[in-house]
Structure 1
Amino acid sequence: MNQFFKYTLVSLVTIATLSSCFKDNDDVFAGKSEINNFIYRGMNAFYLYKADVDVLANDRFANLEELEAYHSQFDSPETFFESLVFDRPRTDRFSVIFDDYVALENILAGNTLNNGMKFGLVGETGSATDVFGYVRYVQPNTSAERENVERGMIFNSINGIRISRDNFNALLAQTTYTIGLADLNAGVTTSNGLEITLTKEVVQENPILVTEVIDQGTQKIGYLMYTGFLSQFDEQLNGVFADFIAQGVTHLVLDLRYNGGGSVNTAIILGSLISGNPITDVYSTEEWNPDIQAQLQASTPERLVNLFKNQTNSGTTLSTLDLNKVHIITTGSSASASELVINSLDPYINVVQVGDDTAGKFQASITLYDSPDFRRSGANPAHRYAMQPLVLKSLNSVGNTDYFDGLVPDIAQNEDFENLGILGDMNEPLLARCLEDILLNGRSSRSSIPSVSYEEIIGSNELEPFGNQMWKELPN
């Protein structure tokens, strides 16, 4: 077994041993009790907030029978899992369980069922119930692109039904639906009679959405719209920075406004590409639950420290810009690994954050399978349940963490849904604020430009499974 997993579970050794000794179950479906045993074993071992959940205490159950008697009161594995999550409204908004780990693996690989229209939902001004949607961007080679959906489009109905705070989940969950377009004025929509029908399909999203090099006087400014930290695209990401270098880029605007997170390792690579710090510098450190933390500190403390990188996982040398300043665009949909990049670079270079407060997620998860060491190999063939619980929180090199309310921008500017602009265009409002600050060498106004006040309810990434997550790939 990998050294990482050699932890001690005190009196639960018996429970862990009994519940992980699998029979030949190829033709047998696991019962609720067997799945619940796996859930408890994984949460007891790894859950970040274990110490805050009394039932996860190592001495809570004397034997397997006591444990099974306890979790028999829950009507499903999902409800049992939910009972073990600490402070769902604020502290842990992100731990999840899946009844099919193949679906989870596809999500982690960026393969999702969607129609390519990425959107936000906003409360209509003057209404306690009505909601409208705005198109944030369109993924290439999708239904939305084929139907000519464009950034900035407004819609207020689906299949002829007015979108509300109570029905948007059900309406948007359909595989095929028709959006009714509308005009927006001062936060109030008026239907214009136009409709577009969209159909979901399995799509592999390339997170490198837009790249530009903008000439501003003698300055060459690289712009990257990056929508997710997916390790499959690390080589392509490195190629973008190589192209920036080839074009003589001296400044960078990194657009993370709709980036809900992803791989910790990719976040380290992106930060390293920007600053080019030595690989001896600390990018971030990790804090696990007390049991895991003590075990790692005693045996392999280096596993708690993430250093800057100088190559990809494939061994390709990173094309680093070696900047001492970067502008990063954020909104409330910038989460997890996006926040990790901002927080980790901050002690080393001048990070100018432009836009709105970020989501406030500093924790990461790992995938736990029902196997003796929680890895995919040897997973119980009688079911496909897997968990993605929060297991660690990230701290930057000076210890900053616990930003529950998000990271606050240096230049505050909310998006104007009546004037979203074109991503990568120098007149797009948030990019324009960055360019102004670069031109004036940091002397631009830090005050927000007045605009209509909107209540943004949720973004499409948050409606997708695992949409605002940060995960860690465990070493072999």
Structure 2
Amino acid sequence: MMLYSTKLLPLVIAASLGLSACGGGGSTGSDSIEPPATGGSVTPTWVQGQFASDASLANQCSANQTGNTLTEKLWLRSWSDDTYLWYSEIIDRDPAPYSVAEYFDLLLTDELSDSGSRKDNFHFSMSTDEWNALNQSGASVGYGINFELTNGSQSAARKVTVTYNEPDSPASENNVTRGAVIVEIDGVSVQDANDSASIDILNAGLFPSQNGKQTTFTIRDLGAALDRTVTLTAQTIVSTPVQNTKTIQTTSGKVGYLQFNAHIATAERGLFDALTILSQAGVDDLVIDLRYNGGGLLAMASQLGYMIAGEEATAERTFEKTNFNDKYPNVNPVTNQSLSPMPFIDESLGFNTGLLAAGSPLPTLDLKRVYVLTTAGTCSASEALMNGLRGVDIEVIQIGGTTCGKPYGFYPTPNCETTYFTIQFKGVNDKGFGEYSDGFVPSTSPTLASEVQGCMLDDDLGHALGDTDERLLSAALYYRDNERCPTIATSTARSSAASEFVDEGFMLKDERNQTLWQNNRIITDIKGAL
């Protein structure tokens, strides 16, 4: 489920699947301390400004032994000092007063970006088992409802609206579809809840954590005069990241459309099939609906970029280059390999065994432009797709809202059954551009590099995704015919992707880290140094 608020800021990730721990060697020097190997008699201690190598502290785990709990925190400290993009801005605190989780939450910069927002909003952890399940299959507990929360902390104006559902889910089976407003949850009014007990009921209903949980929703379907009640049972939902592939026949040619919700492993086959269909149809243009795509596998964004642009535009060109902190100008601190840029990938990588064989050549559309539908939920690998295409002079027309602004990434790194995510690199395209931490902004008259030619428009929850009357898709088709925005387009003033929501009062928020993985940028080790 998606919840867009300052309490659930999307994350940017780079991952090396299968890494057992941080591969960096840690800080070295005459003032460093080295604890003994596991089983030694001396427990490592914290000394301000002195750091053991993270490798020497890794995977020494026991919740029942104080010394090893300290070792977990010291591993986090050394790993962060070694690989965190802004390591010099971390305050070196004594870990003793904090739990492992609390201490990790402190190992980040407190500095602000140029726009005055926090520089790092992308810091989290989850159990390693949970991460593996989510990343490989997109599986999570829920009802198959994806929704938008408006004014989450203001009870008088609070509103929860369904944005789309997953096929073959409790939501789709009960016809809970786009545009439906959730009025009550287990008898508690969404709009009127103003105490912690009521908010807890709403959050528990919106974000179930266990299979079998039953929740009663009162909903107002789009266009309905009366409410109806439906009881949904939570189950493990495997998302369908590629939906609604279609060809739209216009008087000036064929336009391909596809809804792409997440760069997860199962999307590789979905994208392969969708682009094959559109290629065979001979589409003249493409509209990619990324409005709810928080990111995922960076290599998949590279594959999609290749399938859009084709061989001639992408051969020997860079999709994205990663820059790490100043300790590692030429070497990846996690893989210990020399830094090399990610190319536009022209073949399947076999992300999900059995769905598409590794090495299969990818279909191409050979387009010179692409229309991208965006909101504040368009993040990370989705932004990398836009940036990578712009880097090789593919015209990107942006229709919708300002994206979330995540040019950063991490390698999910496991230690003691928990996987940690801390910003470790910044991505730039073939032209060396990556300055979009406040998001890509659609503009009729771009003046900044992060402003993209296009139309600023609000999401339209009154029409189905893929409906040619839906505001964003309709605007893309209009722009294609007229080289300008329709009159309903709003001003091009820059707006923060997160500023719409106020962090005060009683706030609906998803406390589960499992939803945060969706808004990320992931690097895989499937193809070596990619």
Q: TM-score range by the shorter chain?
A: 0.7 to 0.9
How far apart are residue 199 of structure 1 and its match? 2.2
Q: Which residue of 1 aligns with 2:255?
A: 221
Deviates more, 1:171-180 or 1:239-248: 171-180
Which structure features the higher share of strand residues?
Answer: 1
Question: Aligned ranges for residues 36-435 of structure 1 at < 5 Å?
Answer: 36-55=73-92, 70-74=94-98, 76-87=99-110, 90-98=118-126, 100-109=127-136, 110-123=138-151, 129-163=156-190, 164=193, 167=199, 168-174=202-208, 175-182=213-220, 192-276=226-310, 277-296=313-332, 303-313=339-349, 314-347=358-391, 348-370=393-415, 383-409=416-442, 410-417=454-461, 420-435=462-477
For 1:177-225, what per-residue CA distance to the aligned partner results, in whole angstroms no more than 9, with x for missing partners? 222223789xxxx994411222221122120021111100241111010
How far apart are residue 5 of structure 1 and its match? 3.6
1:384–1:240 CA distance, 2 compared to 1 (3 A): same
SS at 2:516 equivalent? coil
Check the 8 A contact 2:81/2:87 in 1, yes or no: yes
Instruction: Mark the runs of 5 or more structure 1 residues left unpaired by the alignment.
Output: 56-66, 371-382
Q: Distance in 1 between matches of 2:129 and 2:59?
A: 23
SS at 1:291 equivalent? coil
Aligned-residue identity in percent: 23
Q: Distance in 2 between matches of 1:118 and 1:364?
A: 25
Q: Distance in 2 between matches of 1:349 and 1:254?
A: 14
Which structure features the higher share of helix residues?
Answer: 1
Check the 8 A contact 2:408/2:426 in 1, yes or no: yes
Q: Which residue of 1 aligns with 2:27?
A: 9
The letter for the 1-side match of 2:372 is: I
How far apart are residue 439 of structure 1 and its match? 2.3
How far apart are residue 27 of structure 1 and its match? 11
Check the 8 A contact 2:80/2:87 in 1, yes or no: yes
Higher relative contact order (CA 8 A, sep 6+): 2
SS at 1:466 equivalent? helix
The letter for the 2-side match of 1:198 is: L
Q: Distance in 1 between matches of 2:26 and 2:187?
A: 57
With the length of structure 2 as denominator, give the TM-score of the two structures: 0.74
Q: Distance in 2 between matches of 1:241 and 1:180?
A: 39
Check the 8 A contact 2:389/2:396 in 1, yes or no: yes
How far apart are residue 296 of structure 1 and its match? 4.6
1:177–1:5 CA distance, 2 compared to 1 (3 A): same
Q: How many residues in Structure 1 have an aligned counterpart in Structure 2?
A: 435
The letter for the 1-side match of 2:328 is: I
Check the 8 A contact 2:245/2:259 in 1, yes or no: yes
Moved over 3 A (4+): 4-8, 20-23, 25-31, 127-130, 168-171, 182-185, 190-193, 294-297, 299-302, 443-447, 454-463
Check the 8 A contact 1:336/1:363 in 2, yes or no: yes
The letter for the 2-side match of 1:97 is: S
For 1:43-102, what per-residue CA distance to the aligned partner results, in whole angstroms no more than 9, with x for missing partners? 2222122122142xxxxxxxxxxx9xx21121x11110011122386221112122x210
How far apart are residue 173 of structure 1 and its match? 2.8
Check the 8 A contact 2:149/2:161 in 1, yes or no: yes
For 1:363-389, what per-residue CA distance to the aligned partner results, in whole angstroms no more than 9, with x for missing partners? 11111123xxxxxxxxxxxx4122122
Check the 8 A contact 1:329/1:353 in 2, yes or no: yes
With the length of structure 1 as denominator, give the TM-score of the two structures: 0.82
Instruction: Mark the runs of 5 or more structure 2 residues left unpaired by the alignment.
Output: 1-18, 35-51, 112-116, 350-357, 443-453, 492-498, 503-507
Q: Distance in 1 between matches of 2:518 and 2:280?
A: 34
Q: Distance in 1 between matches of 2:59 and 2:147?
A: 46
For 1:98-132, what per-residue CA distance to the aligned partner results, in whole angstroms no more than 9, with x for missing partners? 2x21011112121111110110011399x664411
Check the 8 A contact 2:140/2:514 in 1, yes or no: no
Q: Which residue of 1 aligns with 2:40?
A: none
Q: Which residue of 2 aligns with 1:375?
A: none
Q: Which residue of 1 aligns with 2:480?
A: 438
Q: Distance in 1 between matches of 2:96 and 2:24?
A: 29
Q: Distance in 1 between matches of 2:514 and 2:441?
A: 24
How far apart are residue 318 of structure 1 and its match? 1.5
Q: Distance in 1 between matches of 2:438 and 2:64?
A: 48
Q: Distance in 2 between matches of 1:141 and 1:456?
A: 32
How far apart are residue 21 of structure 1 and its match? 7.8
